[in-house]
């Protein structure tokens, strides 16, 4: 019998189902809070982990999600130039307010408020990738094409 999901992980599972995806959220005994921890917990490469990074535009105060490969760093100056205004890393309170999730478990979908989304093109090299699912112990596997589709994200070189 499948184990019941925590409320935050269940929200992600419900969002996946509502969008027509049959991916399964898993809650693991080991932390998936960081890309390194997530890769170790599920036995994949760090660059197969989707880091959901939330930024805040400084002038308009909009939430921006970057779904980045676990081994990549975001070129924040390049992203700011693309957006036409400076950005900053979002505070934990801003992340929770905008997405409905705490840092370390932010999924790429099912947010409380709309987020402008960019997807790291380096994720396309994999058949399967893994994203956070609402808690620092929850994750789900998916294809890069579905990540782009479900988030409505724009593919970019984030480095």
pLDDT computed for residue 112 by the predictor: 97
> At 114, which helix (H) or strand (E)?
none
For residue 99, the model assigns a pLDDT of: 98
Residue owning tokens 């947010």 = 111
Round the average pLDDT of the chain to a whole number and report it. 96
Question: What does pTM read for this prediction?
Answer: 0.95
Domain range spanning residue 109? 7-156
Q: What is residue 76's predicted lDDT score, i.e. its pLDDT?
A: 97
Asked if the model's pLDDT at residue 2 lies above 80, the reply is no
Is the pLDDT at 134 greater than 70, yes or no?
yes
Residue 1 has pLDDT above 50, yes or no: no
Q: How many domains does the chain have?
A: 1
Q: Does 92 map to a domain?
A: yes
Residue 32 lies in a domain: yes
Q: Encode burial over 103-127: b for 16+ CB neighbours within 10 A, e otherwise.
A: bbbbbbbbbeeebebbbbbbbeeee
Residue 1 counted as domain residue? no
Could you tell me the CATH number of the domain that includes residue 89? 3.90.960.10
| Mean pLDDT of the 134-151 span | 98
């Amino acid at each position: 019998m499948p184990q019941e999901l925590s409320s935050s992980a269940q929200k992600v599972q419900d969002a996946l189902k509502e969008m027509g995806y049959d991916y399964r959220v898993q809650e693991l005994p080991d932390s998936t809070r960081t890309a390194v921890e997530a890769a170790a917990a599920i036995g994949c490469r760090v660059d197969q982990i989707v880091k959901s990074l939330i930024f805040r535009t400084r002038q308009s105060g909009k939430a921006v999600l970057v779904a980045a490969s676990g081994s990549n760093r975001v070129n924040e100056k390049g992203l700011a130039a693309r957006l036409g205004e400076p950005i900053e890393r979002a505070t934990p309170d801003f992340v929770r307010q905008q997405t409905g999730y705490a840092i370390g478990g932010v999924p790429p979908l099912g947010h409380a408020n709309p987020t402008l989304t960019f997807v790291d093109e380096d994720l396309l090299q994999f058949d399967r990738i893994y994203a956070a699912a609402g808690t620092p112990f929850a994750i789900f596997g998916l294809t890069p094409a579905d990540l782009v589709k479900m988030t409505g994200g724009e593919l970019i070189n984030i480095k």
